[in-house]
Amino acid sequence: MDSQNAVQTGNNPNTTGASSYNNMTGSAEIEYLKQIHDMTRKQLNWQRASTSAICGMFLVIMISVILILPRVEATLTHVNEVAVQAQESLDEIDLMVKDIQTASQNLNDLVGDNSETLTGAVNNLANIDFDGLNKAISDLQDAVGPLASFFKSFR
């Protein structure tokens, strides 16, 4: 019964000035809701923009991958072919080096085995009297020259 008396007398704190409080609170709530609505709309716009940017970046990356991947694959294939050719060339060079080493060893053996003979041949060549040999050739030319002229007349 106290609540009925309070309503009738206007002493109820819930009803005293309730209409003005509700009006003020309602307009403030509406203002807050408008602000929340505006901020939500701005956030939505920013989210749309960031989503569009992410989609754009994704498309650019996908197009780049689609365009670049075949070129990268061709380049890697070419690099692999060059590496195989280089390995084959290195194998051939190794074989040539072994052959050169064998030939060098054989030449060293030949020189070592025949060093005395070669030394004798070099000494004999050094002992040749080239002046005397030149004089003998000159004398032979003088002696055979007239005979050659004589036989030339019969041709």
Over residues 50-68, the pLDDT tens digits come to 999 999 999 999 999 999 9
Quick: pLDDT tens for 12-31: 444 444 444 445 567 888 99
3-class secondary structure, 105: helix
Tracing tokens 């005293």 back to the chain, one arrives at 16
Q: How far apart are CA 145 and CA 41, in angstroms?
A: 126
Quick: pLDDT tens for 106-134: 988 887 888 788 788 888 888 888 888 88
Tracing tokens 């070592």 back to the chain, one arrives at 112
